[in-house]
Amino acid sequence: MGGRKDSGKKSKESVKVDLSSEDIQDIIDIEKMKTQMETTLNYLKKELTEQLALRLSLSTVANIPVECEDGKVPLSQLGQVQQKSPQMMLVNMIENPQYTNAAKTAILNSGINVTPQVEGVTLYLPIQKVTREHREKLAKNAKAICDKCKEKLRNIQNNYDRLLKQHQQKGKNSTSAAYSQDLILDIHNAIMATTKDYCSKVDDMMLAKQDELLKS
């Protein structure tokens, strides 16, 4: 009995699956999953750059998405974004006054840490001084943004895990040869390892951004 167990264990440890093989691609498209995760990571880079700049820029405000009847559009398509002074920006909503409140809400939810002051159809955006408190607040926001990114990555992981389970179930119910349990486990481990790798990249980006923000 003991000899058979040892033999089985050695056999299992010696099995190596080529995760780039066509057989595995027929079950789960690992490269497609990586592409989706890479897209998520690229969006994070954009968020960290635009939302967590120490000094607010016109382009950041202009690109804030505003919810409209036909979906989200950049703020610059609804109003004129201007630099009134080094301490103040303004958004003139004269051409689309009906979206003034929507623009205010979008700015508040954008993560740029500015509270708009509304006068008629004009939104005034006071630019905060770069204080230690402001830096620490941005660093805290960096963690929140990165946590959301990791949540998106895990959602992608869960989607592919569900696909894998569906293939596994089809194999059990099929009269044709089913995929081996070792193969299913190897693919699951590949999905988990890929997610862990991208989450690690997110952590590195967060630490780099926080270090940049907190430098005196």
Residues 77-90, mean pLDDT to the nearest whole number: 94
pLDDT category at 1 given cuts 50, 70, 90 is very low
- In angstroms, the CA 7 to CA 14 distance is 11
Report whether 143 contacts 210 (CB < 8 A).
Answer: yes
Per-residue confidence (pLDDT) for residue 22, from 0 to 100? 63
**Residue ranges per domain, the chain?**
19-48+132-214, 55-126
pLDDT category at 121 given cuts 50, 70, 90 is very high
Per-residue confidence (pLDDT) for residue 148, from 0 to 100? 96
19-48+132-214 folds as Topoisomerase I; Chain A, domain 4 (1.10.132)
Pairing of strands 122-126, 117-119: antiparallel
Report whether 118 contacts 104 (CB < 8 A).
Answer: yes
Placement of tokens 């009995």 in the chain: 1
The answer to whether the 19-48+132-214 and 55-126 domains have the same CATH topology is no
pTM for the whole structure: 0.67
pLDDT category at 28 given cuts 50, 70, 90 is confident
Number of neighbouring beta carbons within 10 Å of residue 120: 10
Instruction: Calculate what percentage of the chain has a pLDDT beyond 90.
Output: 56
Strand partners, 92: 80, 122
Q: Is the pLDDT of residue 215 over 90?
A: no
Q: Write the pLDDT tens digit of every residue in 167-203.
A: 877 666 554 445 678 888 889 999 999 999 999 999 9
Residues 63-71, mean pLDDT to the nearest whole number: 92
CATH number of 55-126: 3.30.1360.40
End-to-end CA separation in angstroms for the chain: 67
Strand partners, 90: 82, 124
- Rounded to the nearest integer, the mean pLDDT of the chain is 85
Per-residue confidence (pLDDT) for residue 54, from 0 to 100? 79
